[in-house]
Amino acid sequence: MFENILEILQKNSIKYDLVEHSESKSCEDSKKFREELWLSWIWSKNIVFHAKWVFYLVTTIWEKEIKARKFKKEFWTKDIRFATQEEITAVLDAVIWSIPPFGFKNSEIKIFVDKEIFSHKYFMFNPWVPTKTIRIETSDLKKIYDNLPNQKIYFDFSGEQSIFENDLKSDI
């Protein structure tokens, strides 16, 4: 998958920085090496939800708490939970602490993207390898998402009622 991510970046003419670091298996590990390396840009959190045998990838900012109940209406069910490691391996061929925001072969999984990401200049993510981090401009992340076959749905956490401006709105 790492090679696929690099191929997507090259195919879309995206400039990127690749940072090598110690293995990261948690948000705390990531925070520690970011502080050690003085990396203060926005970091991703990529979570896979399971809802009635359908899987969804949610990409947001690493320090945000994601609550499954906020997605009930959009997933058309109250039966939502975090996907297990076995399910993530089967669906994305990834591990929980190294889920990238794109680059997987599964074009059926819907990608929910937090709009706040695009209010920052840079975005950093783990490219499937727990010892590497890639930094790109957020405008380039939007360009990548625009060229993926997956359905993309952009959401906003600022509202109290629905986190989505319109049902399944797919533009920012």
Q: What is the per-residue DSSP string for 20-65? A: E-S---SHHHHHHHHHHTT--SEEEEEEEEEETTEEEEEEEETTSP
What values do phi and psi take at 79, rounded to 5?
Answer: -90, 75
Q: What is the pLDDT of residue 156?
A: 84
What count of Cα atoms within 13 Å lies in the side-chain half-sphere of residue 37? 16
Going by their DSSP bridges, the two strands 110-114 and 54-61 should be labelled as parallel
| Count of positions (residues) in the chain | 172
Q: What is the pLDDT of residue 168?
A: 40
Whether pTM > 0.85 for this model: the answer is: no
Among 161, 155, 165, smallest CA distance to 60 is for 155
Q: What is the pLDDT of residue 59?
A: 94
Per run of 10 residues, the mean pLDDT along the chain (length 172 residues) is 95 93 68 61 83 90 76 74 93 90 92 92 89 92 94 75 42 44
Q: What is the pLDDT of residue 162?
A: 41
Q: What is the pLDDT of residue 145?
A: 95
Q: What is the CB neighbour count within 10 angstroms for residue 87?
A: 15
Q: What is the pLDDT of residue 131?
A: 87
**Torsion, CA 113, CA 115, CA 116, CA 122, rounded to 10:** 70
Q: What is the pLDDT of residue 155?
A: 87
Q: Tell me the CA distances in angstroms from 90 to 1, 34, 57, 104, one per residue in order.
A: 13, 30, 14, 11
Considering only CA atoms, give the Rg of the chain: 15
Q: What is the pLDDT of residue 4?
A: 94
What values do phi and psi take at 97, rounded to 5?
Answer: -85, 5
Q: What is the pLDDT of residue 76?
A: 72
